[in-house]
Amino acid sequence: MKRTLPVIILAVLFSFATSIKVSSQCKGFAKQFCKLEILPYIHDGNYHAAILSEGEEAELYKTCFPDQEYRIAVCGSEALPPVEFKVIDADRNVLFDNKEHNMVKTWDFKVESAKQLKIVINVPAKDKKKADAEISSGCVAIMFGFKDK
């Protein structure tokens, strides 16, 4: 037991360090590439980024306030197919779906009252016919911006 404990501790530390490195790489991707999609809006200061694979989905919640213009930008690394995203309100109404708008990466909007929005990100599979096809993964970032009044 005395010999296995240091091995377990090293394995945990290595996996923790690896996840920090991957997370920081995604944050760098968001800063370098996705932040440009927000312009001319002002970035809200948060970098929401994660590594996703084809077929995976992620959700993010954002509170928006009235009399403010917002932009949501979603981008994925080149290894991924175009990323799908939907914006859904608390009543489960789909406010925006980029599949219905030629897979655009941004959506500009304004709300009439304070709303909690859910942004659902989906990385579709490139080729669903090939079961043995290699699954790609890469960084996906969601950025929020607002217009200065």
Q: Give the per-residue pLDDT at 5.
A: 47
Q: Can you give the pTM of this predicted structure?
A: 0.76
What is the per-residue pLDDT across 111-146, written as a single tens digit (0 to 9) for each?
999 999 999 999 998 766 655 567 889 999 999 999
Q: Above 60 in pLDDT, residue 72?
A: yes
Q: Where are the domains of the chain?
A: 4-146
pLDDT tens, position by position, 22-38: 456 788 888 888 888 99
Question: Which residues are paired to 71 by β-bridges?
Answer: 108, 145
Distance CA 50, CA 60 (A): 11
For the domain made up of 4-146, the CATH class stated in words is mainly beta
| Whether residue 101 has pLDDT greater than 60 | yes
